[in-house]
Amino acid sequence: MKIKQYRTQFIKELSPFYDAYEAESFFYLILENKHKLRQIDLALNHELTFSDSDLIIWTAFLDQLKKEVPIQYLLGKTHFCGMDFEVNENVLIPRPETEELVEWIINENKKDNKTKKIKILDIGTGSGCIAISLAKNLLNAEVYGIDISKKAIETAKKNAINNNVDVTFMYLDILETDVLTCGFDIIVSNPPYVRNLEKEEIKRNVLDYEPHLALFVDDNDALVFYRKIAVLAKSGLLENGQLFFEINQYLGKEMIELLERMNFKNIELRKDIYDNDRMMKGNV
């Protein structure tokens, strides 16, 4: 079958589940990952075809996409900050909003990139996307990542190797940790922050397939991770050290109040590309 003809069929079959733009984006992602063909290749050669064995593979992708399994899990990877990251059911799929957080940290610290050694800790590292991206872009940084999931740590270690950076990853339950004494210049975290009451806003592909351990917190104590990390940051950060968070878009005011009560300085709340309160910073 001609690929151009199959493309129309693929998008049509996914139409009950996704809009045409998203279905088309899935088609080209699979085409590039499985056949090393890009959209321009198909535009330049209308006669390209799929073999019968190719169609078997594509049917399997269709079946999984109709169940709303994330395309990133089906392909086993995603793109973040200019790099490819392995992703699986043990780690969250990195989001564009988190790229903004990484860019903020890089821009705040790139002026010292060649003159000062800095130490960074990523709490709840997951796939390692934040830690690895910082290590890749801040060449003077000594970067550490911790997570409560040993399987997530395994994935993060693979991603560090694949992207040729040196990051130390360790298993640690932050809620069971009493003190950090390593003298960090930067602590960053994108901890679980979605309340159960917000589950109805979550798409099925996230709710059914991404790890709930990394997503959800109890409605009655939505800031439990932020409060604990902020406490640890008071001892774990050097003087004027920076604490960065990705946050729940509905809890920006509460997060500012939390850091103010703990006497953090230079508190700043920023919006993401979707105009939601999404990230903040404070200094000890």
Segment 163-174, tens digit of pLDDT:
999 999 999 999
15 and 141 part of one domain: no
42 and 113 part of one domain: no
Judged on CB neighbours under 10 Å (0-12, 13-18, 19+), 100 is: middle
Task: Give the residue numbers spanning the domain of 62.
Answer: 3-67
Residue 229 resides in a domain: yes
103 and 34 part of one domain: no
Q: How many domains does the chain have?
A: 2
What is the pLDDT at residue 149? 96
Alpha carbon of 79 to those of 9, 22, 131, 164, 184: distances in Å?
27, 16, 15, 15, 28
Residue 81 resides in a domain: no
pTM attached to this predicted model:
0.92
189 and 134 part of one domain: yes
What is the pLDDT at residue 116? 81
Question: What is the Cβ-side half-sphere exposure of residue 221, based on CA atoms within 13 angstroms?
Answer: 5
Structure tokens at 68: 């709303």
> What distance in Å separates the CA atoms of residue 51 and residue 41, rounded to the nearest whole number?
17
Q: Do the beta carbons of residue 242 and residue 120 sit within 8 Å?
A: no
Residue 226 resides in a domain: yes
Rounded average pLDDT over 54-72: 96
Q: Is 145 helix (H, G, I), strand (E, B) or coil?
A: strand
Which CATH number belongs to the domain containing residue 228 in this structure? 3.40.50.150
> What distance in Å separates the CA atoms of residue 270 and residue 276, rounded to the nearest whole number?
8
Residue 79 resides in a domain: no
pLDDT tens-digit map of 222-276: 999 999 999 999 999 999 999 999 999 999 999 999 999 999 999 999 999 999 9
220 and 260 part of one domain: yes
- How far does Cα 122 stand from its chain's mean position? 12
111 and 154 part of one domain: yes
Helix (H) or strand (E) run with residue 197 in it: none
Residue 77 resides in a domain: no
137 and 233 part of one domain: yes
Residue 264 resides in a domain: yes
32 and 97 part of one domain: no
DSSP 113: T
> What distance in Å separates the CA atoms of residue 146 and residue 231, rounded to the nearest whole number?
17
Q: Which residues contact 81 (CB under 8 A, 6 or more apart)?
A: 99, 102, 103, 129, 133, 136, 137
- Answer yes or no: is pLDDT of 113 > 60: no
124 and 157 part of one domain: yes
**Stronger pLDDT, 21 or 112, i.e. the higher one:** 21
133 and 240 part of one domain: yes
128 and 222 part of one domain: yes
Residue 192 resides in a domain: yes
pLDDT tens-digit map of 75-105: 999 999 999 999 999 999 999 999 999 999 9
Q: Are strands 77-80 and 141-147 parallel, antiparallel or unpaired?
A: unpaired
pLDDT tens-digit map of 34-59: 999 999 999 999 899 999 999 999 99
User: Nearest-CA neighbor of 34 among 10, 15, 68?
Assistant: 10
- Answer yes or no: is pLDDT of 207 > 90: no
Residue 75 resides in a domain: no
153 and 39 part of one domain: no
What is the pLDDT at residue 114? 61
